[in-house]
């Protein structure tokens, strides 16, 4: 067990290293620099700027220096938000995104698993059909449609909830639903499919033959195995949700980190970009590791600790 | 479930899938021929901005006084084109990559699959943005250099197709590789190999025909995913740009003018309906195809 975790952690560091390197060179190889303006800067000023942001010298030297700084926990200065460090910017925005993402994560996993289980246990009834149709609709609609539609309905036509903003619990409701909707639908479909497969297995017939109630059969015996595909989806889900979504955050004017993914590329703000990528990638690989460990607890037949 | 041998027969017995095919044909036809039937100047900028739906403008007009029905149809052309072409590129790249990895096996396989893992760990959005902003100026220059100035406006479409295709193939490669691995150990492939057939023959005669079904099923699910991605990029302002239109661009325009004081609901509802109806039909069709090709794995 410990050996397994140690081995996977080593793999995590390798992947993280590759991702940081790819990101670093991608940004530097893109046309256009962080200080390009309509009017070209005087040469000595540009030189000073490049020196201040440690963007001078040979590319490989810059790369190794950057790796050294990262190892010391310094994500460097942002070239767009002048003289603010990437650490500072992320420390301000990430908690906001993580709060929203955490709520959405709970909605998506609990709601999705419940909906999928319900649909599978009532296969071929109207409950099943409605649940699956609405799941497919939620997958087919982009979040920038779901969001404004919810606003139109629940904030404008029937003014029950605030249109946007950040700070009160009520203002969290619409954005977290918008953020969670497609993932809830995806998890519901996943759960239903795997539940239907599990329900045909022999041990379920045995459980029923023993005279267990249908609820006990489904929620205690079947769900434990049927939930495995959902569990392996939780890694990417957590990484995606916790780092924020630019669409949901811009629709509801939430000061989160989602916008950095886009704006840092457009502004050629390489260190901010590398910072968000590092956070995203660390979350992704760490949650995947956690998921693998959970797998072993949920299904003892799976031997992953080789 | 009555089992019939042909997957197409099984598909025909699925009412949702048949309805989806009809809807998709309808959408494609109206996108191709519809704008030709509209009055001249429907797409021109006029002073009649934000007219609600009426007999003159079935879907109303937008901020610049353009007929929204016309814009939705033009948008359908571009969205469908980007979705189909982008998914096709991902299909080709994914099959080639997955087959090489699975067929070569051993160290090459694990190296290639580790690369896929690493690419998975970088947010796709970042790859897309980098690809778009790196390729865009290059293609523009190429077009101007070859005397194709009139086509420069369309360069973004080409860029989007390639960028989306080149970032969407990872899952396809994984699926194809898995198929190749399981096919490779089956007796007919082992027999073919021991009979001394060439690699080319084994790949094209034995492996490809047997995995293309699964790959096509996944392809039908990739098309709506690419359309969704394109709309997302257009929403962010890095995709299709006016005066061209895509569903994503129309929705993004709508999301910007919707506010509590003025409810220009038609700007949001009609493009959203067109887009979600199409994506819904594609997803239903993809689900139906999967059930038809693989009746054991019913979802």
Q: What is the mean pLDDT of residues B240-245?
A: 77
CB contact under 8 A, A32 and B133: yes
The reply to whether residue A163 touches residue B133, judged by beta carbons under 8 angstroms, is no
What is the CB-side half-sphere exposure of residue B228 using CA atoms within 13 A?
23
pLDDT exceeds 60 at position A270: yes
Q: In this structure, what DSSP letter does residue A84 have?
A: -
Whether the per-residue pLDDT at B295 is higher than 60: the answer is: no
Q: Once rounded to an integer, what is the mean pLDDT over residues B80-92?
A: 90
pLDDT in tens, A6-41: 877 887 788 888 888 888 887 777 766 666 666 677
Q: How many degrees, rounded to 5, is the angle at CA B213 between CA B210 and CA B215?
A: 105
- Per cent of chain B over pLDDT 70 is 82
State the smallest CA–CA distance between residue A142 and chain B in angstroms. Answer: 7
Mean pLDDT of A264-284: 82
B242–chain A Cβ distance below 8 A for any pair: no
Q: pLDDT digit string (tens) for A58-75?
A: 777 778 888 887 787 777
- For residue A243, list chain B residues with Cβ-Cβ distance below 8 A: 123
CB B96 within 8 Å of CB B83: no
pLDDT, position B65: 64
N- to C-terminal Cα separation, chain B: 14
B146 inside 8 A of chain A by CB: no
Q: What is the DSSP string of A237-298?
A: HHHHHHT--HHHHHHTT---SHHHHHHHHHTT-HHHHHHHHHHHHHHHHHHHHHHHHHHHHH
**What is the rounded average pLDDT of the residues A226-233?**
82
Among the partner-chain residues A152, A265, A284, the one whose CB lies closest to the CB of B265 is A152
Task: Decide if pLDDT at B274 tops 80.
Answer: yes
Q: Is the pLDDT of residue B275 over 80?
A: yes
Picking from A243-257, B72-86, B115-129, B145-159, which range would have the lowest pLDDT averaged per residue? B145-159
Provide, as residue numbers in chain B, all residues whose Cβ is less than 8 Å from the Cβ of A124.
Answer: none
Find the mean pLDDT for residues B275-294: 81
pLDDT of residue A8: 76
Per-residue pLDDT at B1: 42
**The pLDDT of residue B21 is above 70:** yes
Q: How far apart are alpha carbons A15 and A262 in whole angstroms?
A: 22
Give residue B43's pLDDT band: very low, low, confident or very high (50, 70, 90).
low
Mean pLDDT of B66-84: 83
Count of CB contacts below 8 A, A vs B? 109
Residue B56 CA to residue B53 CA, distance in Å, equals 8
Distance CA A36, CA A67 (A): 25
- Chain A environment of B251 (Cβ under 8 Å): 142, 144-145
Residue B284 clears pLDDT 60, i.e. is over it: yes
CB neighbour list of residue B98: distance below 8 Å, 6 or more residues apart: B172, B173, B174, B175, B176, B177, B178, B179, B180
DSSP string, A24-82: HHHHHHSSS-TT--SSPPPHHHHHHHHHHTT--S-HHHHHHHHHHHHHTT---B-SSST
B217 touches chain A (CB under 8 A): no
Query: With 90 as the cut, is the pLDDT of residue A110 above it?
Result: yes
**Percent over 70 (pLDDT), chain A:** 93
For residue A246, which residues of chain B lie inside 8 Å, CB to CB?
236
Q: Tell me, what's the pLDDT at B2?
A: 46
Average pLDDT rounded to a whole number, residues A133-142: 84
Query: Taking 90 as the threshold, does the pLDDT of residue A105 lie above it?
Result: yes
- pLDDT at position B266: 73
pLDDT at res. B92 = 92
- Which of chain A's residues have a Cβ under 8 Å away from the Cβ of B122? 19, 22-23, 277, 281
Residue B122 at interface with chain A, using a CB cutoff of 8 Å: yes
Q: How far apart are CA A292 and CA A302, in angstroms?
A: 10
Per-residue confidence at A109, pLDDT binned at 50, 70, 90? very high
Band (pLDDT 50/70/90 cuts) for residue A299 is low
pLDDT on residue A305: 47
Tokens standing for residue A154: 């629940």
Of B133, B258, B299, the CB nearest to A30: B133
* Predicted pLDDT of residue B109: 84
Query: So what's the pLDDT on residue B299?
Result: 39
Q: Assign B59 a pLDDT band (cuts: 50, 70, 90).
A: low
Tell me which residue of A24, A15, A17 sits closest to A76, measured CA to CA.
A24
Most confident option among A196-205, B45-54, B208-217, B254-263: A196-205
Summarize the confidence of residues B197-209 as an average pLDDT.
82
* Range in A116-120, A124-128, A166-170 with the lowest mean pLDDT: A166-170
Cβ neighbours of B241 (radius 10 Å): 13
Contact list in B for residue A29 (CB cut-off 8 A) is: 134
Residue A125 banded pLDDT, cuts 50, 70, 90: confident
Chain A contacts in chain B segment 147-186 (CB below 8 A): none
Q: Where are the alpha helices (DSSP H) in A72-165?
A: 86-106, 112-121, 126-140, 143-150
- Residue from B16, B262, B276, B281 to probe the interface with A (highest A Cβ count within 10 Å): B276
Please list every residue in chain A whose beta carbon sits closer than 8 Å to the beta carbon of residue B130: 26-27, 30, 265
**pLDDT value of position B51:** 64
pLDDT at A162: 75
Asked if the Cβ–Cβ distance from A137 to B137 is below 8 Å, we say no
Mean predicted lDDT score pLDDT of chain B: 79
Q: CB-based contacts of A269: which residues, under 8 Å, 6+ apart?
A: A34, A78, A79, A80, A81, A263
pLDDT at position A235 over 90:
no
Closest by CA position to B211, among listed B96, B74, B85: B96
> Sorting pLDDT into bands at 50, 70 and 90, what band is A112?
very high
Residue B133: partners with Cβ closer than 8 Å, 6 or more residues away: A30, A31, A32, A265, A266, B238
Q: Which of A243, A262, A273 sits opposite B236 (nearest CB)?
A: A262
Burial class (CB within 10 angstroms; exposed 0-12, middle 13-18, buried 19+) of B8: exposed
Asked whether the beta carbons of A295 and A92 are under 8 A apart, the reply is no
* Contacts A23 to B, Cβ<8 Å: 122, 126
Give strand pairing partners of A85.
Answer: A77
What was the pLDDT predicted at B167? 85
- For B:259-298, CB contacts with A below 8 A are 260, 263, 265, 268, 272, 275-276, 279-280, 283-284, 287, 297-298
Q: Considering Cα of B283, then B285, then B286, then B290, what sign does the dihedral take?
A: positive
Stated as kind and residue range, the H or E segment containing B276 is helix B265-293
Q: How far is B82 from chain A (nearest CA, A)?
A: 16
pLDDT band at A215 (very low <50, low <70, confident <90, very high): confident
Superfamily holding B3-39+55-297: MetI-like (1.10.3720.10)
Is pLDDT larger for residue B295 or for residue A80? A80
pLDDT at B298: 43
Nearest to B236 among A15, A22, A246 (CB): A246
Q: Enumerate the residues of chain A whose CB falls inside 8 A of the CB of residue B231.
A: 142, 144
- Quick check: bond before B225 cis, omega within 30? no
Separation between Cα atoms, residue A109 and residue A106, nearest integer Å: 5
Q: How far is B150 from chain A (nearest CA, A)?
A: 24
């Amino acid at each position: 067990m410990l050996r397994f975790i140690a081995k996977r952690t080593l793999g995590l560091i390798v992947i993280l290293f590759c991702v940081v390197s790819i990101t670093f060179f991608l940004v530097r190889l893109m046309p256009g620099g962080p200080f390009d303006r309509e009017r070209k800067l005087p040469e000595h000023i540009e030189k000073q700027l490049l020196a201040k942001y440690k963007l001078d010298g040979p590319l490989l030297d810059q790369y190794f220096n950057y790796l050294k700084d990262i190892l010391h926990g310094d994500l460097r200065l942002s070239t767009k938000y002048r003289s603010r460090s990437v650490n500072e910017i992320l420390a301000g925005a990430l908690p906001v995104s993580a709060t929203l993402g955490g709520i959405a994560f709970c909605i998506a996993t609990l709601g999705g698993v419940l909906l999928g289980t319900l649909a599978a246990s009532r296969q071929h009834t109207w409950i099943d059909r409605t649940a699956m149709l609405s799941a497919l609709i939620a997958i087919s609609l982009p979040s920038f449609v779901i969001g404004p539609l919810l606003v139109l309905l629940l904030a404008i036509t029937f003014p029950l909830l605030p249109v946007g903003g950040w700070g009160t619990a009520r203002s969290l409701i619409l954005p977290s639903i918008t953020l969670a909707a497609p993932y809830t639908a995806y998890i519901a479909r996943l759960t239903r499919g795997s539940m239907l497969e599990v329900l045909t297995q022999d041990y379920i017939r045995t459980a029923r033959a023993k005279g267990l109630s249908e609820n006990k059969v489904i929620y205690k015996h079947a769900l434990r195995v049927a939930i495995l595909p959902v569990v392996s989806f939780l890694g990417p889900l957590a990484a995606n949700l916790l780092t924020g979504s630019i669409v949901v955050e811009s629709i509801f004017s939430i000061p989160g980190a989602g916008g950095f993914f886009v704006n840092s590329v457009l502004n050629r703000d390489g260190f901010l970009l590398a910072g968000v990528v590092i956070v995203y990638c660390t979350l992704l690989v760490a949650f995947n590791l956690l998921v693998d460990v959970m797998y072993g607890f949920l299904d003892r037949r799976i031997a992953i600790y080789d | 479930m009555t089992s019939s041998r042909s997957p197409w027969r099984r598909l025909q017995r699925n009412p949702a899938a048949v309805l989806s095919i009809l809807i998709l044909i309808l959408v494609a036809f109206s996108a191709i021929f519809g704008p030709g039937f509209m009055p001249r100047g429907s797409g021109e900028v006029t002073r009649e901005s934000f007219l609600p739906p009426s007999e003159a403008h079935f879907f109303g007009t937008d901020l610049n006084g353009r007929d929204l029905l016309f814009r939705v149809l033009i948008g359908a052309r571009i969205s469908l084109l980007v979705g189909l072409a982008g998914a096709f590129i991902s299909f080709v790249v994914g099959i080639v990559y997955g087959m090489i990895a699975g067929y070569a096996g051993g160290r090459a396989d694990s190296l290639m699959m580790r690369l896929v893992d690493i690419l998975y760990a970088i947010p796709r959005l970042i790859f897309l943005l980098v690809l778009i902003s790196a390729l865009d100026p290059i293609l523009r220059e190429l077009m101007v250099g070859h005397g194709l100035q009139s086509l420069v406006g369309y360069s973004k479409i080409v860029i989007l197709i390639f960028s989306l295709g080149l970032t969407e193939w990872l899952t396809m490669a994984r699926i194809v590789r898995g198929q190749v691995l399981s096919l490779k150990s089956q007796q007919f492939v082992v027999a073919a190999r021991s009979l001394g057939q060439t690699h080319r023959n084994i790949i094209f005669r034995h492996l490809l025909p047997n995995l293309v079904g699964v790959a096509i099923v996944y392809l039908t699910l990739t098309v709506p995913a690419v359309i969704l991605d394109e709309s997302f990029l257009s929403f962010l302002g890095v995709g299709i740009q006016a005066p061209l239109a895509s569903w994503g661009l129309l929705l993004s325009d709508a999301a910007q003018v919707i506010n509590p004081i003025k409810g220009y609901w038609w700007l949001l509802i009609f493009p959203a309906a067109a887009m979600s109806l199409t994506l819904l039909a594609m997803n239903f069709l993809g689900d139906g195809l999967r059930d038809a090709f693989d009746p054991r794995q019913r979802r």
